[in-house]
Amino acid sequence: MKFKDGLKIASRDLGKRKGRTFLTALAVAVGTMLIVTLVSLGTSGEKLILGEVEKSSSLKQVQVANMKYFDIYSDTGGDTDESEMFKKIDDRAIDKFGSISGAEIVQGFVGVNVDNVEIENKHNKGETYITALNNNTSYFSNVDIESVRKNNNNENLVPIIAGRNLKSSDKNAVLVGKKYLVNMGIKDYKSALGKDINITESKTENQNIVLKPLRVKGKIVGIIGDKFEKENKIVASLDMTSQILSYYSMQKDYLKNEGYDFVVINSSNTDNISHIGNEVRKTGYLYVSYQDIIQKIESSFRIIKIILAVLGLIVLFVAAVGIVNTMIMVIYERTRSIGIMKSIGATRKDIHSIYIIQSSIIGFFGGILGLVFSIVNLNIIQFGLKIFLESKKITETINFTMPLWLAFGTLVFSIVISIIAGIYPSRKASKMDPIQALNS
C-alpha cells in the first residue's frame, strides 16, 4: 500500500468523527501551546536581560572589591564578619592588577556622600556622592566612552563638554555634571567654569559622635556631558575626596589606612576578562565580572525554561492518553472494515501504517493549532504589558518572540508523541483475525 493511499484512508476515517477528532487534537494543542508560550516568554526575558547587559561597558570590565575572595554564588562567607573579610586595596595592589596580561586601564575608586554643595550661592542640600580615583585622570575610560557612543548612536560624544579633565597634579579640582548644575538652578552651565565649589560634610561614620562640620573648597575645571553624567555625583580630586573621607571615618589618613573602595580593570577585548578574573582571584581579592553574571543568568534561565517546558509536557502526555483512547474507539468502530481490508490482501504492516498515520495527523493538527494559540497568547500578553508599562510611564518595551527552533521542535515533538500513543492501538488493529473481524 502506498503512503498516499494510507493517508487518504486515515483522513477519511478521522473525518467521519470530526468532533471527537477535534477534541483529541485540541488536547494536543493545549500541551503544545503551554510549551511554546511559556518557553517563548522565558526566552524573550532572557534575551531582554542579556541584551541590556551586553550594551554595558561593564562587559569589558572586572570589578575588584576590598574583600577577601569567596564564592559569591554560594553561601560561603555569608555569615562571616565583614571586618574579617576586609582586604585593603592600595597602590601596590593596583600596580599588580595593571601588570595582568590584557588589563589596559586600572581605576581605583573612593567615594563618600556629603550633606551640602554650594556653587554661586546656590545649594544642593540633598545627598551628593563625591568620588575620585587613584590618578585623577582616567575617570572616563575608553571602554566607557565607546559604550556611551554606541548606546546613543553618536561617535562625536565626549565626556567633558566644557573646560578640561582632571590632571594627576590637581589638588582641589572638581568635575560637575551639566544636569547637576541645571538642577541647582545654574542654566548656563559654562558659567560655572572656574567658579568655587564649597562642599560641606557634617556626618561621621559613628552616628553617636558629632563633630564640627567640615568645609572643603574646590574649583570647577570641567563640565561633564549629560550622557556621561551619573545622577547626583561629582568627580573630585583624590586629595579633596580623601580629606572628606578622613573626616567621615575619623581617621588621620583614610587612604593610607583603608585604601580604595574598589577597583575597575578595563580591557578592550572581552576574551581577556576570564583570564583577568582568574589572575585577580590568585591575588586573594573578591572580584566580579559581567561575563560570570551572564553565565549564571543563562544557567538560571535554562532551568526556568526546562521547568516551564515540563508543565507543557505533562499536558501533552495527558493528551497522548486521549489519543490512545480515541484510536482504540476508532478500531472498535472499524473492526469490520479491518476484516474486509485483510480479506482482500491488506497486510499487518498496511493496517499498522493506516492507524499510525491517523495518530500523526491528530498530532500534526494539534501542534499547528497549539502554535496558533501560542501566537495569539504572546500578542495578547505583549499588548497587555505595553498598556501596563505606558500607564506607569515606562518607555522600555519587551518583544515576545517565538523562536523558529522552538516552534518547529514542538510541532515535531507533538507528532512524535502522537505516533508513540498510536503504536498500541495500531498493533492491536494489525493483529486482528480477519474472520473474527468480519463476524463482529
pLDDT digits (tens, 9 = 90+) for 140-180: 888 788 888 888 889 999 999 999 999 999 999 999 999 99
Q: Specify the pLDDT at position 97.
A: 93
**pTM attached to this predicted model:** 0.63
| CA–CA–CA angle 326, 351, 340 (5° rounding) | 100
Q: To the nearest 10°, report the CA torsion of 131, 134, 135, 140.
A: -50
- The alpha helices in 82-192, defined as continuous H runs, are 82-85, 91-98, 142-151, 178-184
Task: Give the H or E element holding residue 264.
Answer: strand 262-266
Kindly provide the residue ranges of all beta strands, DSSP E only, lying in 120-169, ordered along the sequence: 122-124, 128-133, 160-163
d(CA 62, CA 375): 41
Cell for 258? 583603608
Radius of gyration of the chain (CA): 34
The answer to whether the beta carbons of residues 221 and 199 sit under 8 Å apart is no
d(CA 360, CA 347): 20
The answer to whether the beta carbons of residues 13 and 332 sit under 8 Å apart is no
Residuewise pLDDT in 10s, the chain (440 residues) = 566 766 776 677 777 778 878 888 888 888 888 888 888 888 887 777 766 666 665 678 899 999 998 877 665 555 556 678 899 999 999 999 999 999 988 999 999 999 899 998 899 888 899 999 998 877 888 878 888 888 888 999 999 999 999 999 999 999 999 999 999 999 999 999 999 999 999 988 888 888 899 999 999 999 999 999 988 899 999 999 999 999 999 988 999 999 999 999 988 787 888 899 999 999 999 998 877 777 777 777 788 878 877 877 787 787 788 788 777 777 776 677 777 777 777 787 888 788 888 888 888 998 999 999 999 998 998 888 888 878 877 766 778 888 898 899 889 988 998 888 888 877 877 777 776 666 65
d(CA 138, CA 155): 19
Cβ-proximal residues to 3 (8 Å cutoff; 6+ apart), any chain: 353, 357
Cell for 92? 601596590
